[in-house]
Amino acid sequence: MKKEFIKYIITALILCAFPLSLKGAPSEGMQQEAAMQICDRYNNQLKVAVPNVTDEGFAKAVAEGISVVDFGFRGCVWCGKIAPFFNHLAAKYGADGVKFFKYDVMGQQIAARTYGVGNVPSVLVFKDGKLVSVQTGYTKLCTGLEDEILKALGR
């Protein structure tokens, strides 16, 4: 357990110290591997039922408080890979009043178009109906989503 934690800390430090924009930054493959280490550790944990949200109920769902919406679809491999991590965050921050939803981009598209979601997986964080954060792609979601939730909570 201690060895895993040390590996996690080293990986996190590498990701923070070498953003992609710097010359000599870790490759996308290295960042993806680090993201997998973060997300994959939640695969066998207790799952929270995250409700689906539709175009019809979207505005009401995100109107009050902090809402986190996962844009994806059933056949998306990367969407499936972040699902356990997303469920973990729902369990962890649901007690703080943060609402979590899943939005299927294959069955509807109005909210996705409204907020410019062009790639999946994408997770949008709303505070009192206003978009405050967009995290797109497996690597960014696994490494940055929890920080965005904490910012929205003011922590």
Average pLDDT over residues 55-78: 94
Interatomic CA distance for residues 121 and 137, integer angstroms: 5
105 forms bridges with which residues in the sheet? none
Q: What percentage of the chain reaches a pLDDT higher than 90?
A: 50
Q: Which of 34-48, 69-83, 128-142 has the lowest mean pLDDT?
A: 34-48
Q: Is 134 a residue whose pLDDT tops 70?
A: yes
- Global pTM reads 0.72
What is the identity of the amino acid at 27? Answer: S
Distances (CA, A) of 89 to 19, 49, 111, 124: 24, 12, 22, 14
What span, in angstroms and rounded, lies between the C-alpha atoms of 102 and 6? Answer: 33
Asked if residue 100 has pLDDT above 80, the reply is yes
Query: 104 in helix, strand or coil?
Result: strand
Distance separating alpha carbons of residues 82 and 70, to the nearest angstrom: 9
Q: Is the pLDDT of residue 61 over 50?
A: yes
Strands 122-127 and 66-72: antiparallel
pLDDT of residue 142: 81
Residue 11 vs residue 101, higher pLDDT: 101
| CATH superfamily, region 55-153 | Glutaredoxin (3.40.30.10)
Q: How far is CA 123 from the centre of its chain?
A: 5
Backbone angles phi, psi at 109, to 5 degrees: -145, -5
| Residues 6 or more apart whose Cβ sits within 8 Å of residue 20 | 28, 31
Mean per-residue pLDDT over the chain, rounded: 78
Most confident of 9-13, 35-39, 47-51, 133-137: 133-137
Domain segments of the chain as ranges: 2-40, 55-153
pLDDT score of 128 more than 70: yes
- What does the pLDDT read at residue 41? 53
Position 56 scores a pLDDT of: 95
Give strand ranges (E) for 24-118: 66-72, 99-104
